Amino acid sequence: MLVLLGFILAFHIATAALLFIATIDNAWWKNDISSTDIWQTCYYNGSVCNDEYISGYGDCIKAIQATMCLSVIFCCISFIVFVVQLFRLQKGQRFYIAGTLQLLSSLCVMIAASIYTDQEQNFHQNMHAGDYGYSFILAWIAFALTFISGVMYIVLRKRK
């Protein structure tokens, strides 16, 4: 049981780390001269970064920013709730609260990545051709991991 608990904690910490990287790092869209994330665009010549280009995206980018931040918050709260429930729950009960928060985190990541995917043509119409960066890919991986973690918490029963 201790090995399973260690695996679950490590899995949750790894998922939270992926969410932090996907939210913070500047690599949602990359091309030869710049990289863009949900906060700003950085140009490789002289490391000039500005958020004026991002502000032109409108309300869609604000929704992406908000849902990614919410996903990180829900994931961290879920971890704290899981640890508290680990010591407070009676034997045989399930970790419903931690699982629900983790599923909410998964939903927020899915919404953010879906909006970015849908609006990508509008976001990068004035830029050179490029590809999705690793932060965008990490966001989709984090979606899958938070969903699996949420289901795992709901199914998991406290044992002695």
Tens-digit pLDDT profile for residues 110-143? 999 998 888 776 666 666 677 888 888 999 999 9
Confirm if 102 and 74 have CB atoms less than 8 A apart. yes
Distance of alpha carbon 76 from alpha carbon 120, whole angstroms: 29
- Residue with tokens 């939210």, as numbered in its chain: 23
pLDDT confidence of residue 6: 86
Please give the structure tokens belonging to residue 87. Answer: 């010591």
pLDDT confidence of residue 56: 63
pLDDT confidence of residue 19: 93
C-alpha atoms less than 13 angstroms from C-alpha of 11 in its C-beta half-sphere: 18
Phi/psi of residue 94, each to 5°? -100, 160
* Domains of the chain as residue ranges with CATH: 2-155 (1.20.140.150)
Residue 93 banded pLDDT, cuts 50, 70, 90: confident
Angle at 12 between CA 90 and CA 145, to 5 degrees: 115
List, in sequence order, every residue forming a beta bridge with 36; answer none if it has no partner.
Answer: 29, 41
pLDDT confidence of residue 53: 62
Buried b (16+ CB within 10 A) or exposed e, 10-23: eebeebbebbbebb
pLDDT confidence of residue 119: 79
